[in-house]
Structure 1
Amino acid sequence: MNVSIFKTIQDGSNFIFEAGPGSGKTTTLIRTLHQILKAPDNIIDPTSQKIACITFTNVAANEIKERLGGDLDAVHVSTIHSFLWKHISSFQNELRRALYTFNDRLGPSNKRYIPNLNLDERDIEYVDHYADLSKGEISHDDVLELAFHMIEEYSTLRHLIKCQYPILLLDEYQDTQDIVIETLSQLIKADSQTAFGKTDFRVGLFGDSMQSIYDSGAGYVDPQRLDAVTITKEDNYRSTPNIVRLINEVRAKSKEATHVEQQVQRTDLPQRSICSLFYTTNDIALKLRSLDAIASHFDWSLGEDTKILELTHSAISRTANWNNLQKAYTYRGRDGFDRLRMGDDTYSSTFLFMSRLYKAWASHNGSDTLRILRFESPGYIRDRNIVTSTEDMVHWTSILNEYVRRCNSSNIEESSISAILNFVFDEDVQLCRRIDRIARFESYYDLDDSKRIENRRKFLAALTETHFSELLHFYDYLDQATPFSTQHGTKGAEYDNVILVIDDSTWKNRYSFSTVFGASDRIEDRVQRTLNLFYVSISRARNNLIVVYKNPTTVSIAGAKELFGEDNVRPLEEVLPDIATF
């Protein structure tokens, strides 16, 4: 393990462990825990104390538990929310008082505000659905705010936490809300000498401020806030030298990140490694067949070892051939597409059924087809008995063959999503039924707003112009059966080959990739936000990295040459001279 971490803990100091991508941060955390537990000078009393190891997500907590193995008795591993709720939930009277104050801070202008809130005799509960304050229910974010104010106000609560957990380690600190950092600061700065006796308490943060890509995250934490020392780790066990050099160059551009100059530690380096940027003004360059041609040019394939990263789901829809479907959902409201993506749209169950049924029958998988028809047909009872004779088998074979033929047809009047919906709903076909939710939606009966009626008409009209194949491409994407991912969606992952597509027109108010390459921007937050996301994206690559930049300025091209090297920045047309014919 990192000796300086253990010495810092022995000395009773707080620390921030800052390490870049591919450095083995979680491994270092696990080794730190093991070392503390076998420490000869008994840093903790195992009969009454534990080390607290808190994380941002359940996935991360479960990974740490698995890797700790038999040492779990002496380590409390949980999410931040679970840890804080565990301690404040037993202080119900104080919680009620804190919730009254919380409600007052909300004020009448907030829709969650409850006039004349009365929590007498109510137990305060932490729920994962919409929290109704009048019932004493609090949400995910409420836990953090209430815990902060209670720990700030009640010395007994502070003392109990510090006595039980003299060492608290926080993983991926940059993703943690800033109020959590403030809560830790309250624990650190509180008197160690209390009426109950002396308490020693140390905090260690593990993470990388440059990998802060979520709005809710604290990002860079000034060590002075926690009276902490900074410890860095320069190893990179993931990427090739040219990619690591780029990672270091990008990090050096940050005005706030802790300086970490990574060193390559890989011993299995490939004979050839690409780290290049190609620029273009051609829209065809952002089509799947063009990206496939780029991969083929460098002897890759778009399989499991290659990932194509784009900024948004909308950008991916244009590349991955479900753009008309995405556009249709712009008429379903601000969160319309997200509801479809999460499986909560009016048509979700029917669209998913249609997609699965097509894939099963088109791939000649009779048993899967039968299972889908029996158990997944919307509007029918589960386990409907559809095949009882040879005649039934002939009947369903004919219907399913016609279904696949229509889905594959180049005639949009037969193969649009709308046309396929009408086919599967047909009473003579009986593949599925028009569920009540869809029937109400298509009848407009629940609307009296002309704008919403018009948007609903436009949505239904768009389905008549969208080929069924777009549904297949969309569900392939959701099932991770394509090489595509959003840049935010790959944090923590790694791939042999990465193609990163950047386009400043995609999300202009949030990101400006031209600033990575030297362009100015009066909005400092956007500059750092973009730099962090670019840093995270390029550092997913193990062996090869290609950035495809659409419509860069001359300033950006010059800046890219400084970052990547003169010979590694070229027009895409030099690699794909026939791109215009794709």
Structure 2
Amino acid sequence: MMYEESQDVLIEEVKVFDTLLGYVNDRKPFYFLSGAGSGKTHALISLIKKIMHDKKSQLALSRQKILCITYTNNAKDEIISRLGENDLVYVSTIHNFLWDMIQHHMDALVVIHVTYLTDLIKKNESELFYDENDKPAYQVYRGLNQAEIEAITDFILEDNESYYKMQELNAGDFWQILNDELGEDLGKKLKTNKSHVLKIFSCIRRIYNYKNCLKNIAEGVRGYDFIEYNIRNAECLYKNRIGHDTLLLYSYKLMENYPYFANILIDKFPYTFVDEYQDTHDNVVAFFKLIIERLKPSDSQYLIGLFGDPSQEIYSSGGRTSFLTLDEVHKNINRRSHDQIIDCINKIRGGHQPIKQVSIFRNKNLGSVKCYIYPMSKCNKSDIEEIIDSYRSEWDVSLSNQMACLVSKNEMLAEVCNFSNLYSKVNDLFVAENKNNYKKVNDEFVVNNVDKFGSFASIMYSYCKPAYLLKVKSDAPIIELFPKLYLQECTVKDIGMAVRKLNTLSYCSLEEYFVNLYELFNTTKNKRVKSLFQSLLPIDFDSEDVWKEKLVRYCGLRKVKFDDEVFQNFLKVDFDEMIHWMKYINSNKTDSPVNVMTCHSSKGLEYENVIVFLNDKMNKKHTYFSSLLNSDLNVELSPDLEEVRRLLYVSTSRAVKNLRVVLFSDNELEKDSIQKIFNDCVFFS
């Protein structure tokens, strides 16, 4: 069906874009605030194209570029695909952009690193000796003599493996180890609270490591004269290796302490646009705020434009303390959805905020919105799949009429996508490594793409990639399996032999896969074929014991060892679950009639048909969604409820025509208030 655009709304859209152009031409900073489906990315690209057209010669002559910062690699790729490769535009994620800029100022970075480590040492020493801490363990430690403190320090620094294993001991065995290693008198003094004593030990280790790092920097030890940024976020500050958040902090500190750095950026990028501004880290906001503050009042050679929507802030790392107070340009137009969807998402946003969308189309009003409430007992793979199948049939889902199934929890995702046991065993591994790692499986393993992998996921993905390609993508070009550099040294016969050998591997579990891959490598005589196998391995197959030790270490595990029960349980996972996990990672979210993903990862996408599965038990709460649905959405709510509102808004606004919200909850819900949002609400027992 053809939809007719409203001339009045079209005129309003043109006015909004002309307003943005006015800010660009006047080099006046602005914040373009508009809701889901409004065409923010289209407006951003149109502005960039207009600048490229009008300022092409000037930018080229000055060797300047337009800077466009995005939140994700997917968003970056989307913008590049729409703009095309162009020497006048630099499109990058914030982390890549900042590292690309600051790595050329290494001396200054090392100074910042030294200052930061010095501050961390003071902070840890304050915790040990000076904080108002009445915990008995700290009082005991502060009363020890120098010899006793040195004995404790020597003990916990002597053997890393023993130290990490000691943390997993029960209290009785823990105190016995201290008695055996430190002497009964000192052991008895320390016998207070195990977790508090371990915090003290951890503090001592940090202080030692940071001081040793500072010593190495001061003495010019090789490897300590530069800072390394780890894209996998495997930070180790005392080895001069920083992760994502520290990169943002150091970038801000460089801007704060070295005013010349602002001039470099202004000269290099006279036009800066930040997409998805609402998700921008506080230190990045402070970074750009410093640039603006350092502009001379008469300087009109720099422009920053922000594009975002506070109602879609779902990746925030905490409360914001830095703000860019810029003129706001609002757009109250939706180009995506049918009227029924727009009405629903307007109600979720609430009438207290400035964005209230209308459709660009006069007659796009065939949408359908419903909410279903099921008891928690129905929140299982079988019932969820039954719901999905029923709508797949009802909506006649196909590649040209796709459906997205959004789930609020990663556990639900893993179950629906057939890798729930793998998810559980990886989570057990992370928690065994550190009891505070309960979110790590979601942050580093079940992620949108390989760029967000942690060390463990990266290693496992690399090992299993050959099996995945041969089983799932058998028609993939050979260069996807073997690196070009290795292929150049081999004959067609060599390559064929290598593929046949890989295809004949027999395995049911991850353990069997590793064993058989190891045996295949060691029994292959043809050196060229063996080199092809070598190219697939993230870790060299040395002797079995060495390889096992390397595997867990490269996976980022320090306490957990290869032969530990928790790691062996992981290795016993059905290999098909690894394949299903890799299928999820590699899905582009648009390559199937039915696409399953988390609510968070759906951001920026759109589908004709959407089912949102919500679990009321989330983030350690039992009324996560029901509390919001029972609230007045036309007022500012508590920070916790606003977080839920934003997630619900992002999820529901993916729908173009048909939207179903399925809530699993055993809590009381007010049907009237829910019907005001979703028009139709059905309760199931």
The alpha-carbon distance between structure 1 residues 133 and 556, as it changes in their structure 2 partners (threshold 3 A), is same
Give deviations 1:54-84, integer Å, cap 9, x for gaps: 33334433443443348643x4433334444
Tell me the secondary structure at the aligned position of residue 217 of structure 2: coil
Contact 2:402–2:609 (8 Å) recurs in 1 = yes
Residue identity opposite 1:245 in structure 2: D
- Aligned match of 2:394: 298
Instruction: Structure 2: state its 5+ residue gaps.
Output: 1-13, 125-202, 432-436, 447-452, 484-489, 525-532, 554-558
| 1:80 is the counterpart of 2:94 | yes
CA distance in 2, matches of 1:94, 1:473: 46
Tell me the secondary structure at the aligned position of residue 277 of structure 1: strand
Please state how far the C-alpha of 1:171 moved relative to its aligned partner: 1.5
The alpha-carbon distance between structure 1 residues 542 and 373, as it changes in their structure 2 partners (threshold 3 A), is closer
- Aligned match of 1:35: 50
CA distance in 2, matches of 1:495, 1:216: 28
The alpha-carbon distance between structure 1 residues 201 and 541, as it changes in their structure 2 partners (threshold 3 A), is same
CA distance in 2, matches of 1:306, 1:21: 18
| 1:326 is the counterpart of 2:423 | yes
- Aligned match of 2:136: none
The alpha-carbon distance between structure 1 residues 150 and 43, as it changes in their structure 2 partners (threshold 3 A), is farther
| Match among 217, 220, 228 for residue 118 of structure 1 | 217
| 1:260 is the counterpart of 2:358 | no
CA distance in 2, matches of 1:160, 1:290: 58
Tell me the secondary structure at the aligned position of residue 118 of structure 1: helix
Residue identity opposite 2:339 in structure 1: P
Contact 2:69–2:275 (8 Å) recurs in 1 = yes
Please state how far the C-alpha of 1:332 moved relative to its aligned partner: 2.0
CA distance in 2, matches of 1:454, 1:70: 46
CA distance in 2, matches of 1:537, 1:3: 31
Please state how far the C-alpha of 1:422 moved relative to its aligned partner: 8.9
TM-score (norm 1): 0.72
Contact 2:552–2:560 (8 Å) recurs in 1 = no
CA distance in 2, matches of 1:260, 1:330: 40
The alpha-carbon distance between structure 1 residues 544 and 285, as it changes in their structure 2 partners (threshold 3 A), is farther
TM-score (norm 2): 0.63
CA distance in 1, matches of 2:618, 2:670: 17
- Aligned match of 1:213: 314
Q: How many residues align?
A: 525
Please state how far the C-alpha of 1:167 moved relative to its aligned partner: 3.4
Contact 1:285–1:291 (8 Å) recurs in 2 = no
Please state how far the C-alpha of 1:284 moved relative to its aligned partner: 6.2
Please state how far the C-alpha of 1:514 moved relative to its aligned partner: 1.6
| Match among 231, 235, 240 for residue 338 of structure 2 | 240
CA distance in 2, matches of 1:115, 1:66: 45
- Aligned match of 2:289: 185
Tell me the secondary structure at the aligned position of residue 253 of structure 2: helix
Residue identity opposite 1:241 in structure 2: D
Please state how far the C-alpha of 1:373 moved relative to its aligned partner: 12
Tell me the secondary structure at the aligned position of residue 95 of structure 1: helix
| Match among 361, 364, 372 for residue 278 of structure 1 | 372
Q: Percent identity?
A: 24
The alpha-carbon distance between structure 1 residues 242 and 46, as it changes in their structure 2 partners (threshold 3 A), is same
CA distance in 1, matches of 2:654, 2:419: 26
Tell me the secondary structure at the aligned position of residue 294 of structure 1: helix
Alignment of 1:111-190 (within 5 A): 111=206, 113=210, 114-116=213-215, 118=217, 124-128=226-230, 130=234, 138-190=242-294
Contact 1:487–1:537 (8 Å) recurs in 2 = yes
| Match among 567, 591, 601 for residue 489 of structure 1 | 601
Contact 2:419–2:581 (8 Å) recurs in 1 = yes
Please state how far the C-alpha of 1:173 moved relative to its aligned partner: 0.9
The alpha-carbon distance between structure 1 residues 437 and 532, as it changes in their structure 2 partners (threshold 3 A), is farther
Contact 1:340–1:348 (8 Å) recurs in 2 = no
Alignment of 1:181-580 (within 5 A): 181-190=285-294, 192=296, 198=299, 200-216=301-317, 225-252=323-350, 259-266=354-361, 269=364, 272-281=366-375, 282-283=377-378, 286-287=381-382, 288-296=384-392, 298-301=394-397, 305-334=402-431, 337=441, 344=456, 456-457=564-565, 460=568, 470-471=577-578, 473-480=580-587, 483-509=595-621, 512-518=624-630, 524-565=638-679, 568-572=680-684
CA distance in 1, matches of 2:502, 2:85: 55
Residue identity opposite 2:266 in structure 1: K
Give deviations 1:443-471, integer Å, cap 9, x for gaps: 9x999xxx96999436756877x766655
Tell me the secondary structure at the aligned position of residue 38 of structure 2: coil
Tell me the secondary structure at the aligned position of residue 397 of structure 2: coil
Higher mean alpha-carbon deviation, 242-251 vs 415-424, is at 415-424
The alpha-carbon distance between structure 1 residues 216 and 511, as it changes in their structure 2 partners (threshold 3 A), is farther
CA distance in 1, matches of 2:264, 2:566: 60
Tell me the secondary structure at the aligned position of residue 356 of structure 2: coil
The alpha-carbon distance between structure 1 residues 344 and 285, as it changes in their structure 2 partners (threshold 3 A), is closer
The alpha-carbon distance between structure 1 residues 328 and 66, as it changes in their structure 2 partners (threshold 3 A), is closer
Tell me the secondary structure at the aligned position of residue 641 of structure 2: helix
The alpha-carbon distance between structure 1 residues 556 and 318, as it changes in their structure 2 partners (threshold 3 A), is farther
CA distance in 2, matches of 1:267, 1:292: 31
Residue identity opposite 1:312 in structure 2: K
The alpha-carbon distance between structure 1 residues 328 and 202, as it changes in their structure 2 partners (threshold 3 A), is closer
- Aligned match of 2:6: none
Tell me the secondary structure at the aligned position of residue 47 of structure 2: helix
Residue identity opposite 1:183 in structure 2: F
Residue identity opposite 1:13 in structure 2: K
CA distance in 2, matches of 1:94, 1:139: 18
Give deviations 1:274-313, integer Å, cap 9, x for gaps: 2111111142665343123331463333767111111232
Please state how far the C-alpha of 1:333 moved relative to its aligned partner: 2.7
The alpha-carbon distance between structure 1 residues 263 and 119, as it changes in their structure 2 partners (threshold 3 A), is farther
Higher mean alpha-carbon deviation, 106-115 vs 520-529, is at 520-529
| Match among 99, 102, 123 for residue 113 of structure 2 | 99
Give deviations 1:309-339, integer Å, cap 9, x for gaps: 1123211233344433433434323368567
- Tell me how large the CA RMSD over aligned residues is: 5.0
Contact 2:406–2:612 (8 Å) recurs in 1 = yes
Contact 2:429–2:566 (8 Å) recurs in 1 = no
Give deviations 1:177-207, integer Å, cap 9, x for gaps: 11111122222223506xxx95643321111
Contact 2:616–2:622 (8 Å) recurs in 1 = no
Please state how far the C-alpha of 1:555 moved relative to its aligned partner: 2.7
Residue identity opposite 2:369 in structure 1: C
Instruction: Structure 1: state its 5+ residue gaps.
Output: 376-381, 408-414, 574-582
Contact 1:329–1:337 (8 Å) recurs in 2 = yes
Tell me the secondary structure at the aligned position of residue 291 of structure 2: helix
